[in-house]
Amino acid sequence: MSRATTSRTWFLTGASRGLGAHWAEAILARGDRLAATARDKAALASLSERYGDRFLPLQLDVRDSAAVRDAVRSAEVTFGGIDVLVNNAGHMLIGAVEEVEEEQARAQMDVNYFGALWATRAVLPGMRERRAGRILQVSSLGGLVAYPALGIYQASKWALEAMSESLATEVAAYGIHVTLIEPVMFPTGLTAASPQARQDPAYAHARQALYAGAGAGGLTPGDPAATAEALLALVETPEPPIRVLFGTGGLGALRTEYSGRLAGLEQWDHVARLAQGKPSGS
């Protein structure tokens, strides 16, 4: 991977494993500066040894809003500003809605949604002042389609989708671009590293439907390392999209999902009209 002419400063959460680990390597190999976070900073030691003062490792629990602000401030002081924020930290809670415990549901939202929200808010003042910046939110195909046994995980991603779409319109006037990355299927070990809900036999069918649906939907696991090249290409794009799929098979799933939604709404349009009531004065 050749060094690009424009050097950037990145802030990447969840950099110690999965897609984040591949992205951290690619960002630094490109010649850029990187502030990277992990819950255990020791997991980033090898990057510190190889890249020296172009790399700032930060220990961070993204659920702590004050710690997130401090981490962003440290990166800005060290590197003079943040050009690209990548909100990648997250976990995937598998479980039917009734199976998930209250603290598990709150933790899922705290990491996947609020963690991204705190980091986003922390970088915005500097980006607005410089009138430039990229915010990349790592969502999921599950941020656009909901599957059984993933309801709470996908709720966190749907919240991220809505916030980010509104944000994109709010900050466009300042030269800030917001993009939702929608990974389709990659073997990153995310499931094994994530907390799991208790399994109630009453919902065995939901778990079976989840795994059967993934296979029947034509979703083929992609190469996690290849996503790094896609990430860098996305940042080089002058006018990036609000959403982009990483991996194949997602378009077919989305065509089925959205055509089904529209068909259902059209089928029940008579109820929508009933709720509307008669025009005033008629």
218 sits in the region (left: phi over 0; alpha: psi -120 to 50; else beta) called left
pLDDT digits (tens, 9 = 90+) for 220-246: 899 999 999 999 999 999 999 999 999
Annotated active-site residue 41? The verdict is no
> Band of the pLDDT at 279, cuts 50, 70, 90?
confident
List all residues 6 or more positions away from 142 whose beta carbon is below 8 Å from its beta carbon: 150, 153, 154, 157
Position 207 scores a pLDDT of 87
Q: Helix or strand or coil: residue 33?
A: strand
Is the pLDDT confidence value at 184 over 50?
Answer: yes
Annotated active-site residue 153? The verdict is yes
Is the pLDDT confidence value at 4 over 60?
Answer: no
Enter the tokens of residue 169.
């319109």
In the chain, DSSP finds a helix count (H) and a strand count (E) of 11, 7
Position 214 scores a pLDDT of 58
- The β-bridge partners of 181 are 138, 244
Position 1 scores a pLDDT of 39
Position 3 scores a pLDDT of 41
Q: 208 or 64: whose pLDDT is higher? A: 64
Give the ranges where 131-268 is alpha helix by DSSP (H). Answer: 151-171, 190-193, 204-216, 226-236, 250-267
Enter the tokens of residue 53.
């003062």
Enter the tokens of residue 274.
């009933």
Position 211 scores a pLDDT of 77
Position 218 scores a pLDDT of 63
Q: Average pLDDT for residues 85-93, to the nearest whole number? A: 96
Position 217 scores a pLDDT of 58
Position 189 scores a pLDDT of 84
Is the pLDDT confidence value at 2 over 50?
Answer: no
Q: Which of 140, 147, 156, 157 is catalytic?
A: 157
Annotated active-site residue 258? The verdict is no
Q: Average pLDDT for residues 156-173, to the nearest whole number? A: 98
Q: Which of 24, 22, 26, 2 is nearest to 11 (CA)?
A: 24
Tell how far CA 43 is from the center of its chain.
21
Q: Which of 16, 113, 139, 147 is catalytic?
A: 139
> Band of the pLDDT at 258, cuts 50, 70, 90?
very high
How wide is the angle at C-alpha 196 spanned by C-alphas 193 and 202, nearest 5°?
150
Q: Average pLDDT for residues 264-272, to the nearest whole number? A: 98
> Band of the pLDDT at 5, cuts 50, 70, 90?
low
Q: Helix or strand or coil: residue 280?
A: coil
Q: Average pLDDT for residues 138-151, to the nearest whole number? A: 95
Tokens 């599957």 belong to 147
Position 27 scores a pLDDT of 98
Long-range own/partner contacts, residues 222-226 (CB < 8 A, 24 or more apart): 222/184, 222/185, 222/186, 222/246, 222/247, 222/248, 223/186, 224/18, 224/19, 224/22, 224/186, 224/187, 224/188, 225/22
Contact in structure between 134 and 235 (CB atoms under 8 Å): yes
**How far apart are the C-alpha atoms of 60 and 14, rounded to whole Å?**
9
Mean pLDDT estimate for the chain: 94
Q: Which of 51, 113, 147, 153 is catalytic?
A: 153
